[in-house]
Structure 1
Amino acid sequence: MKIIVTGGAGFLGSRVISELLAAQDAGHLPQQITEVVSLDLTETSVQDPRVSSVVGDIADPELLRRTVDEDTWAICHLAAVLSGGSEEDFDLSHRVNVHATHQLLEAARATGSRPRFLFTSSIAVFGGEMPETVPENLATQPDSTYGAFKAMGELLVNDYSRKGFVDARICRLPTISVRPGRPNSAASSFASGIIREPLQGEASVCPVPLETRMWLSSPNTVVANLVHAVTIEGEQIGRWRVLNLPGICVTVGEMLESLTAVGGQQARDLVTHQEDERIKSIVLSWPGDFDVDRVLELGFARDDSFEDAVRQFHQEFVA
């Protein structure tokens, strides 16, 4: 049996592949997996004899039909055009975030074997007036193209699951911080940049007010939660397969206090403040806190503090 990871060459996808292999080695997967397939525009960096790469266009239905077959136990659909890129290129975002998701679901349906289908969504599906703490059943009202297309994907995946075509797990990701590497096209990219760059001696610009609340999770915790979503039985989630993954509510000002605690005042002094209306319009539409009591009872995890996440990054990539 095999698992397919779309976006498997990316930062998150490559880590999910490695964590899936570790879960297999530890006997934590309910099915014996012999192969993990990365489906992306380039080959994955994960080096393991059980890992293979399919390089191609995620929106190509022929490629999907060749890749997704009766031997597919699970599909982890991580590939997406991110928030900033979606605002800049509506057509590309629709092609990847909506059309390709539909084509992938159709390929899974054609197998007749009801594979597990993990879909990574986003807190960007929310918008408009919201309570201080978002409950599980709050209706989506996206204020961005990215959020709108992710909300469409949620409905598609959930209905394919309701019909018995796939066994869905839909995970709304918190903003991931601190990401290693360089800035990406996400409107929330600054949430890593204002920590990552100063810890490495580089200047960074904060584009939103310091009182902006962020719903954050470290990369390690997000990856562990995604693999947990694959391993648990779908019936534990219920008919509505959407999960708000646990995060922690932190203001941008508190994030910078954590930067100072780990990197010192010299790191904090490298962050300047220059508000960006385009980024603000997207990020300030997202909720900053969620009720995740039920999700925690299902075995998902959250970071103890944002300072711990900053120290995690510093120890792995800077120290």
Structure 2
Amino acid sequence: MHVMITGAAGFLGQRLTAALIEKGSLNGQPLSRLTLLDQIEAPRPEVVSALTVEVVAGDIADISVLERCLAGEPQVIYHLAAVVSSAAEADLSLGMRVNFDATRLLLEGCAARGLSTTRLVMASSVAAYGGDLPEILEDMTALVPQNSYGTQKAMSELLINDYSRRGLIDGCVLRLPTIIVRPGRPNAAASSFASSLLREPLNGEAAICPVPTDLEMFVMSPQRVIEALLKGAEVPAAAFGLSRCFMLPGITVSVAEMLEALEQMAGAEALVRVSHVPDARITAIVSSWPARFETRKARALGFTGDADLADIISLHQRDRDVLANGN
């Protein structure tokens, strides 16, 4: 089994790489080759001799780079590369180039090589929704994104669905909830604060809350997202029906509930490390994302989510402790 990952140097890409190596197979086939693509060189994992790993550092919107990666005719492609929300809003051309143009080039490359049975799993986003929405959304709720990142993701979703309908690729689009608690430091994503609110105080550091505490978000842990990505490669094509795009089963939480959970799990001293500094730009972006979903299709296909916010924090603390102990 040859698996290709775009955005392999990102935190999801690195976690997915590690999970694939640990799993050792997909769809009952042993993992034999990994192609890891990113604009910077992805960390080369320690692997057994039976697994070939190719690390490619290059521009995903460069056709020659994609042709190099597709030459080995991967059977599964995880398309995680993206310019995140705030950056895509600040630079329309960059967002279009990476989030949409590169997706089209990837699909065209697969079609040109006749990779009709290759499963392409793309990470989309809750940001694809927006506008005047019902209280609870479903997968077939019309996509009217209110930011460029969401628009670019929605455009890519339509392309993948159409290329799958034509039999040119076997696509699967997973709309990801906001991922918390992300490891590392804050990035350019508008939602980055949601991880910082929990991660930094738990580490004894200060954090900033830029949004009103009554703002609600639809969230999921990194661990459950990785499980979903692995599952996305194994769902039978016939099970998707007419649409290859659906929302993963996250949970709805308010910022106030995040802060309450922080206090309950780490005490009042953790809560006082959070400063409230309103940011109208971040609030405008994040508040345009819906927070309540009916994820019937994902659950019917076998995808699972977190039990509650305490479960998400506990998973983060477990991973943090494992990393700190070097295990």
Q: What's the CA shift for 1:188?
A: 0.3
- 1:285 corresponds, among 271, 285, 288, to 288
Count of matched residue pairs: 317
- 2:103 corresponds, among 101, 104, 120, to 101
For residues 163-188 of structure 1, what are the alpha-carbon distances to aligned partners after superposition, in whole Å with 9 as ceiling and x for unaligned?
Answer: 11100000100000001100011000
Q: What's the CA shift for 1:263?
A: 1.3
For residues 138-172 of structure 1, what are the alpha-carbon distances to aligned partners after superposition, in whole Å with 9 as ceiling and x for unaligned?
Answer: 00001001011111110111111111110000010
Assess if the C-alpha contact under 8 Å between 1:4 and 1:38 holds in 2. Answer: yes
What residue in structure 1 maps to residue 76 of structure 2? 74
Letter in 2 for 1:56: G
What residue in structure 2 maps to residue 48 of structure 1? 47
Are residues 1:20 and 2:23 paired? Answer: no
- 2:166 corresponds, among 163, 167, 177, to 163
Task: Give the match's secondary structure for 2:19.
Answer: helix
Letter in 1 for 2:46: Q
- 2:32 corresponds, among 31, 34, 40, to 34
Q: What's the CA shift for 1:30?
A: 3.6
TM-score by length of 2: 0.94
Unpaired runs of 5+ residues, structure 1, are none
Q: What's the CA shift for 1:70?
A: 5.7
Name the CA shift for 1:43/1:70 in 2 (closer, same or farther; >3 Å).
Answer: closer
Q: Percent identity?
A: 43
What residue in structure 2 maps to residue 178 of structure 1? 181
Assess if the C-alpha contact under 8 Å between 1:23 and 1:29 holds in 2. Answer: no
Task: Give the match's secondary structure for 2:121.
Answer: strand
Letter in 1 for 2:152: F
What residue in structure 2 maps to residue 198 of structure 1? 201
**CA-based RMSD:** 1.4
What is the alpha-carbon distance in structure 1 between the residues aligned to residue 242 and residue 30 of structure 2?
26
What residue in structure 1 maps to residue 233 of structure 2? 230
Q: What's the CA shift for 1:293?
A: 2.1
Task: Give the match's secondary structure for 1:95.
Answer: helix
Letter in 1 for 2:263: T
What is the alpha-carbon distance in structure 1 between the residues aligned to residue 138 and residue 220 of structure 2?
18
Q: What's the CA shift for 1:54?
A: 1.0
Comparing 307-316 and 121-130, the one that deviates more = 307-316
Letter in 2 for 1:54: V
Q: What's the CA shift for 1:63?
A: 1.3
Name the CA shift for 1:99/1:166 in 2 (closer, same or farther; >3 Å).
Answer: same
Q: What's the CA shift for 1:55?
A: 1.1
TM-score by length of 1: 0.96
What is the alpha-carbon distance in structure 2 between the residues aligned to residue 212 and residue 47 of structure 1?
42
Letter in 1 for 2:5: V
For residues 18-53 of structure 1, what are the alpha-carbon distances to aligned partners after superposition, in whole Å with 9 as ceiling and x for unaligned?
Answer: 22223335xx52433311111012222232252321
For residues 185-233 of structure 1, what are the alpha-carbon distances to aligned partners after superposition, in whole Å with 9 as ceiling and x for unaligned?
Answer: 1000001011111111111111111111110000000110011011111
Runs of 4 or more consecutive aligned structure 1 residues displaced over 3 Å after TM superposition: none
Comparing 63-72 and 131-140, the one that deviates more = 63-72
What residue in structure 1 maps to residue 278 of structure 2? 275
- 2:267 corresponds, among 264, 267, 279, to 264
Letter in 2 for 1:209: P
Assess if the C-alpha contact under 8 Å between 1:70 and 1:111 holds in 2. Answer: no
